[in-house]
Structure formats: structure tokens, C-alpha cells
Chain A
């Protein structure tokens, strides 16, 4: 097939999906496993990454357990059972797939990066070369392309402070004691179906360790890109904040326009020690699929953090605009006394997207506090569900929770749902939960239009106002990106 016709196809697809500007596809030499999933594949992934025996054991244990589980379908999203044999479980640009030959220390340097991959990231606006914009951007980036991490910037600068910021595969080699100490402690391999799958076939991910007393001067960030068709991405991220430390971590993602569903099943584990604070922000913009959400990303993510020590604080902020199906519940286990958990979320669904997202706040320690602010927007023919659990255990003396879930419906073909679970086992705890459902009022639109603001801009303004509580929690650049994403995703949803 000639290149022009190939691009023609892509362009056609793109024009159909004008809203999704990250939908381009990168042509590069790749090393992709044949489709299928069995124990040999799990072993092969491990071998490819030259992993030590304990990591392989962890994978095999998880895989054996996964086979005994059934795919969960309790979420308010209908999808056909996934054919796990129809995906490839490993794909990497050639240059980076040679970790077995290269000294691992060199891996991740930008000089090694495939120029096509570098081009892809630069057009996504991700500073992976450690030069120019990235230097100014005051942000360290780990770029993950399909199954491997291709570049991690500003590592030296961070190393001086003792901060470990590298890909998960490197951490397995360079910091096995830390990985072994924390892997699977927050999300055990038997936690749920997708966590078990992830534990078995984990591709790459980011590993962050902030030592005692260190405040990370720059934001750390990971950008995930699924490129190959019919591959799954199964990143595993571990973030550890030791005593009295602070870090702000950002996460972004995108994928090319494809015509078949792609699978994304990630696991994120966050451990926050005494007095430490972690701010974890995500802008999720996976490809949502075409107008019928055919070919979008199936996003099944297990994110969980534990506030291990007293006065620890973990804050999740997410802006979810992409994916055909989202199944994601970033959670906080508030174990340390006086620890704080926060969850700020904006979830937008359009077309036939289905999002079932929320959080879990498990109060164990005394005087633990949690705040949940969730804003759901549904447009088109989509379904948007908030599902959250607040559990106050008998030991959580004086625990406090405040939850607010607001839903907005745009159009009469969509659905907005709220399914909170509230379990209080301590009388001294105080919990409040509120949920409302509303829509953009005709009078509000009329008011704006009367003053010369176009309908589209007016909707954008009203929506941004509705989401302000959450956007104000996002780091500056991200807040702007999220606002723009909302505007794009909402295009054509009214009128």
C-alpha cells in the first residue's frame, strides 16, 4: 500500500473525528508481540525487560489468579466481553526494545529515542528532549510509548535532591529493594480483575521516590501514548513520598484514532508517609472512538493511595474527557491519624461514551478528613456515572467527610447517575453527602446570547463555571488544557 493512500485513510478518519486532535498515528519500526495471552507471553514480557526472578514470580502469580476471575460488568457501562486473545501485550519502538543489550543506565536518554517517536511527542506538546521548552517549563517528563518508557527528562537535576524519577522497568533493575518493598502493597495483584491482568502483563510505567524532607522543586509528569493498533497498555506506576516530602505529579495520555477498541488497564499505587503530601493530577484524553464510540479506548484503571503516616495528605484531581469506557476510582486509604484525602473530578462524556468513575475514601485513622467534589457532564447519547464509597471504620474517631456530586445534562438523550455508598461505623464521625442534577438553563443561554456571546461560547462559559471548583485544583498548565479539552469535547453537543 502506498503511503499516500495510507495517509488518506487516516485523514478521512481524522476528518470524521475533527474533535480529537491527538488522533494521528506514528509510523516507526516496532517490535510487537503476536496477539494472544498465555503464560509464555507473560514470561516473554518479563524476559524482554530482563527482569529478575521475583518480578517474574509476581507476574506469574497474578496471571494464575487472573485466570480464575470473571470479567466484571457491574459498572453502568455496557460492553461486550473483551477478547483478551485479540490483543498484543507488548509493543515498543525498536530502539528502546533493546534493554537487554544496552546498559540500563543509558536507557531513557533522549539521544536514543526514535526520531519518529520524538516527533510524535513534540507534536503532542510533550517536552521529551530535555531542551528548550522543557527547560523552561519547569517540569520533568517520563514519556511512555506503547509498552516502554522512551525518555525521562531532568533526571540528573532530580537525582541531586535524591529524588528517583525513572521508568518502572528501570526501577526494577536499579532500585529492586524499593520496588519489592512497595509493589502490590496498595493494590495487591488479587485486588480485582484488571489489577490482576495488569500485574501479570505490566508494560512500563513511572517510578517516583521522594526522600525524607524533600520538596520536589519541579512538577513530575508522565505522558502515556498508545500507538500500535490492537495493543493493550498496562502501565504500573508507583509513587512514594517519604516523611515530610512533597510532590506534584501530572499525568496525560492520548492515542491515535483506531477502528477497534484498545485496552488500557493501569495500576497506580501511591504511598504517602508521615507529614508528606502528594498531589496527583490526571488529564485523561484517550481516544473516545468515532461518533458511536467504536474504536475508542477501554479504560480500566485501578488507582489507589495510602496515607500511611500521621498528617499525610493525598489529593487526586482528574479531568476525564476521553475513552469509550471509563472505569476508574482513584481511592485514598486514610490510615495515618489526621491524614487527609481529597478527590476532585470533572468527567465529561459525549457521543456514546460511558464513564463510571468516582472514588473510595476509607477512614481508618483518627481525625482523618476527606473531601470529594465530583462534577459530571453528560452530552450526546452518553452515560456518566459517579460511584463512590465513603467508609468510616470504628477506629476512625472524629473522622470527617464532605461529598458533593453535581451532574449536568446537556441534551435529552444522555444519562447522569449517582451511586454513592456510605458506611459509617463510628458515632463520632461526621459525614455529609450531597448530589444534585441540573442542566444548562435556556434562560442562562439566552442571557449570554443577548449580550453577543455565541451559543457555543456561552455553553463553554457555563460549563467552566460549573467545573471551577475542580479546575482550580489543577496545576496551571493543566487547568488550561482541561478547559480547552472540555470546549473541544463539547463541540456540536448542543443545537
Chain B
């Protein structure tokens, strides 16, 4: 492991790391599998040598993690999930058929989960045990938060869809946090065989508005040739919570990955989606919807790596920022040497609703192939007075008109998201409720 000495860290960062390591040590004491302990210890070394990022780091210049460092987190206590009734989950449940997997404070709850009858042959859903986890490796380039995930890794969720299997019913993975002051480190592994298809709805919520939690997830999604995955990440935590998620999607030939991230909650969040096109003619969509309010800092990042021929990637990121909310976006389209005929496009559009709202955007292109079509566009502004006037002239009240324009602006990524109308309507409602 790295023998690098620890970088200079602020006392707060140092203290925070020590606490996290403390949690890991107590976890180790309860763990029987040595392999898992070894893995956590390796992660500890990595974290110590990396340190926590500060705003001096290029990737963190707009995102300060200070509010997180001021918190004192602990591991969730095992609770009897029977204490939680299905009725309490009602607000989080969609009105369309799903295969529902419910995790309460990270613990799988069979009684709250449902829709198992829709599980076809060829779909396996497993709580990865120590052995399975052992085979999951983080990349060399992993950042401090990914290592923290590994440091506190206890259980992973592995979903495997065999070749040719088409999952008609969306898979709803609901993480419910009930204990305040706890950290959740979910690890999701999804593997889609050749020409397999599925819809994933990853959903993060807090049971009560006062619950303060820290979700620090890592996801790895693999798409074999011709596979299709439609993913929604619905981050709807309480306004005091923290959310960090880093997912990497690897795509083979002709695969199609379509992802939408909805940043509806948290005081500080950072969703990082990496897509690697390794086979020819792969298609990738990475969209986001970010309605910010109060003092929220909502950070969305993408990295799209085109390594093969005829790749296509599309991104549409919409931010509506009110109050003193801050929106951050950083995206990079990389076209490797030889990835000819790549067609990449990234759009970031932000609407600033209040004088204190801020937006920072860094749309980037790095291109090493000549026969490509790549572009990005970025725009920021406020609601067009002409549009308001137009609506008002037709008898729509100014506040209603603003609401209407804002909604239409924000929901664009969902409108073009090709899923069943019920799902689209339900997601739309989740966003509208936040406005």
C-alpha cells in the first residue's frame, strides 16, 4: 500500500478522518471475515495518504466540505425493522408496480420489500457477503469519499441480470434513514448481461424531516453488449443531510445507459457519474435536475469517456436556484485517440431566482480524435421578462407564470426520459413538490 506520508490537513479534517477510522475499527471488531478487515485497512491507508479534499483541490474548488466536517457521525444501530410500518413508508412509494427492495438504516427489510413475484428467472438480487465484496475493487483514482465508503463497507447489494432478460417492472431500491447522526455507505453492483434490459430507481430518503444523515455511496454498473439500463437516482434526503455518491458505468458495444439524477434534498450533495464507453456504438445519457433552495450546495459531476468508435453521449443538466442556494456543475467529455465518429454533447442551463443564488459551471472537453462532433453549451440567467409578460397578458398571475416557466424549464430532462408514463408522472410530481 501507499507509503506516502499524510498530507497537511486542517485539525477539523484530521479529527474527522480519525473518527471515521474509529468507526471502521469498531466495525472490524464485529467482523468475522478477515478479508473484509484487510480491505478496510487498505482503504484506511489510502484515505490517510490522500487526506480530505479542500477548496484548493481543482475538483473541489466550488464545494466546501466544512459543514460535513462539523458533524459527528456514528454507525446505525441494528433496529428491529418491524418497528417500521409500511404506512410510514407510504409517502415514498410509487403508484406503479415495482420490485421493491427496502433498506432501513442500511439493513435489508424483507417485510417492507415487495413485488418479488415480478422477479424473473435470470435476475439475481443478493446481499453481497464478505467474499463477494472482496472481489470488488475501487479504481486507483478513487477519491477520499470512495475510500471512506470502503472503509465502512459492511454489505453490498449485487444485482445480476442474465443475458437476454428484460425486466419489465422497475427495480425500486429504497434506502430509508431513521436514525439521526448516522452514516450510510451503500455499495451497489449491477451487472447486465448481453441484451438485458432494466430500469433502476435508486431512492434515498429520511423518515423524518429532522433526521440528519450522511449517505456516502459507491456504485458500479456494467453493461454487456446490447444491454440497456435506465437509471433514476432520486436523492430526497432531509434538508440537513449530506449526500456523496460516485458511480462508474462501463459500457460494451451497442449498450445504452440512460441516467437521470434528481437532487431534491440535502444541505450538501455531490453526485458523480462516470461513464466509460469501451465498446463501439455505445450510447450514454447523463442528465440531472437540480432545484436548489435555502443554503443548499448541490454539486453534480459527470465524466464521459469515449474509448471506442461511433460513441454517442448526451447530457442535459438543469438547475433552478432560489434563496442562497449554490449550484455546482463539472463535466468532462473525453475522447480518446482513435475514438472516431464520437458524437458528444453537454448542456448546462441554470435559472437564478434570487440575488443570493450562485452557479459555478465547468463544462470541459478533452479531445484526441479528429473525426468527432463534440460540443457543450452553458447558459445562466433569470426568468425572461418577456415570457412573464406574455403569460401575464393572457391573464396568468405573475407568481403562477413564474411557477409555470420554472417547472417547464426544470423538467425538460424528465420529459425526454423514455419510461412508462406512470413513472414519469410520479417523478415529475416529486420535483414539482419541491418547487
**Chain A CB within 8 A of B355 CB:** yes
Q: If A412-B370, A418-B365, A435-B363 touch, does A424 touch B375 (CB 8 Å cutoff)?
A: no
State whether the Cβ of B31 lies closer than 8 Å to any Cβ in chain A: no
A428 CB–B CB distance under 8 Å: yes
Check if A409 sits within 8 Å of B370, measured CB to CB: yes
Q: Are B370 and A433 in contact (CB under 8 A)?
A: no
CA gap between A448 and B135 in the complex, in Å: 58
Q: Which residue of chain A is the closest to B368 with respect to CB atoms?
A: A415
What's the Cα separation between A414 and B337 when bound, in Å? 9
Within 8 A of B (CB), among A210-268: none
Closest to B344 in A: A437
A109 lies within 8 A of chain B by Cβ: no
Interface residue from B338, B361, B371, B382 paired with A422 (Cβ < 8 Å): B361
| Cβ-defined contact, B337 with A427, below 8 A | no
Pair A430/B363 contact, Cβ less than 8 Å? no
Chain A contacts with B in 418-454, Cβ cutoff 8 A: 418-439
Cβ–Cβ < 8 Å partners of B58 in chain A: 74
B367 to chain A, nearest CB (A): 5
Residues of chain A with a CB closer than 8 A to B338's CB? 412
Contact indicator B369/A412 (Cβ below 8 Å): yes
Within 8 A of A (CB), among B398-431: none
| Chain A residues whose CB sits within 8 angstroms of the CB of B369 once the complex forms | 409, 412
Give the number of A-B contacts (CB < 8 Å). 112
> In whole Å, how far is B357's beta carbon from the nearest beta carbon of chain A?
6
B359 at the interface (CB under 8 A from A): yes
The number of chain B residues touching the other chain, given as a range, is 35 or more
B235 contacts chain A at the CB level, 8 A cutoff: no
CB distance from A278 to the nearest CB of B (A): 28
Say yes or no: A394-B355 contact (C-beta < 8 A), given A431-B381, A437-B374: yes
Whether the pair A412, B363 counts as a contact (CB closer than 8 A) is no
Measured CB to CB, the closest approach of chain A to B182, in angstroms, equals: 35
- Determine whether the beta carbon of B375 is less than 8 Å from that of A435: yes
Does B358 touch A at the CB level, under 8 Å? yes
The answer to whether A407 and B340 touch across the interface, beta carbons within 8 angstroms, is no
Residues of A within 8 A of B337 (CB): 412-413
B372: which A residues are within 8 A, CB to CB? 409, 437, 439
Interface stretch of the complex, out of B183-191, B202-210, B272-280, B346-354: B346-354
| Interface membership of A416, Cβ < 8 A | yes
Write out the residue numbers on chain A whose beta carbons fall within 8 Å of the beta carbon of B62: 423
Choice from A74, A410, A425, A437 contacting B367 with Cβ under 8 Å = A437
Instruction: Answer whether residue A173 sits at the interface, using C-beta atoms and an 8 A cutoff.
Output: no
Smallest CB-CB separation from B321: which chain A residue? A427
Least CB distance, A377 to chain B, in whole angstroms: 11
Using a CB-CB cutoff of 8 Å, which residues 343-363 of chain A contact chain B? none
Instruction: Answer whether residue B34 sits at the interface, using C-beta atoms and an 8 A cutoff.
Output: no
| A435 CA to B378 CA, complexed, in Å | 9
Contact with A along B372-384 (1 / 0, CB 8 A): 1111111111100
- Chain B residue nearest to A427 in the complex (CB): B352
Contact of A433 (CB < 8 Å), options: B357, B358, B360, B379: B379
- Of A421, A429, A434, A438, the residue contacting B381 (CB under 8 A) is A429
Chain B residues with CB under 8 Å of A412's CB are: 337-338, 340, 369-371
Query: In the complex, what's the smallest C-beta–C-beta distance from A461 to chain B, in angstroms?
Result: 19
Supposing A412-B369, A439-B370 touch, asked if A419 and B364 sit within 8 A by C-beta, the answer is yes
Interface residue? B366 (CB, 8 A)? yes
Cα A421 to Cα B372 in complex, Å, equals 23
Is there a chain B Cβ closer than 8 Å to A475's Cβ? no
Of chain B, the residue at the smallest CB distance from A421 is B362
Chain A: minimal CB distance from B365 (Å): 4
Residue pair A415, B382 in contact (C-beta under 8 Å): no
From known contacts A74-B58, A412-B337, A436-B375, infer whether A424 and B370 are also in contact, taking CB-CB under 8 Å. no
- The reply to whether B367 and A424 form a contact with Cβ atoms under 8 Å apart is no
Q: How far is the CA of A432 from the CA of B357 in the complex (A)?
A: 18
Q: Which of A55-96 contact B (CB under 8 A)?
A: 74
Give the contacting residue for B359; candidates A424, A430, A435; CB below 8 A: A424
B358 x A429 contact (CB < 8 A): no
A379 to B, closest residue via Cβ:
B370
- Measured between C-beta atoms, what is the minimum distance from B311 to chain A in Å? 14
Evaluate contact between A438 and B373: CB separation under 8 angstroms.
yes
Q: B365 and A437: CB pair below 8 A?
A: yes
Q: Does A417 contact B (CB under 8 A)?
A: yes
Contacts of A394 in B (CB 8 A): 355
Closest chain-B Cβ to A46's Cβ sits at a distance in Å of: 35
Q: Does A411 contact B (CB under 8 A)?
A: yes
- Which of B362, B377, B380, B382 contacts A419, CB < 8 Å? B362
Query: B414 to chain A: closest CB distance in Å?
Result: 24
How would residues 296 to 334 of chain A score, 1 for a CB under 8 Å from any chain B CB and 0 otherwise? Answer: 000000000000000000000000000000000000000
Chain B residues within an 8 Å CB radius of A430: 379-382
A427 near B364 (CB under 8 angstroms)?
no
A371 CB, min distance to chain B CBs, angstroms = 15
Instruction: Report if A424-B358 is in contact (Cβ < 8 Å); known contacts: A411-B370, A438-B373.
Output: yes
Known contacts A407-B367, A417-B364, A427-B355; 15 additional CB pairs below 8 A are A412-B338, A417-B366, A420-B362, A421-B362, A422-B380, A423-B62, A423-B358, A423-B359, A427-B357, A430-B381, A434-B376, A435-B365, A437-B365, A437-B372, A439-B372
A-B contact pairs, 29 of them (CB 8 A): A409-B367, A409-B370, A412-B337, A412-B369, A414-B370, A416-B365, A418-B363, A420-B361, A420-B363, A420-B364, A420-B378, A421-B361, A423-B359, A424-B359, A424-B360, A427-B352, A429-B381, A430-B380, A431-B380, A432-B377, A432-B379, A433-B361, A433-B376, A433-B379, A435-B375, A436-B374, A437-B372, A437-B373, A437-B375
Query: B residues engaging A (CB < 8 A)?
Result: 58, 62, 337-338, 340, 350, 352-355, 357-382
Give the 5 A-B residue pairs with the shortest CB-CB distance, closest first.
Answer: A427-B352, A409-B370, A433-B378, A430-B381, A418-B365
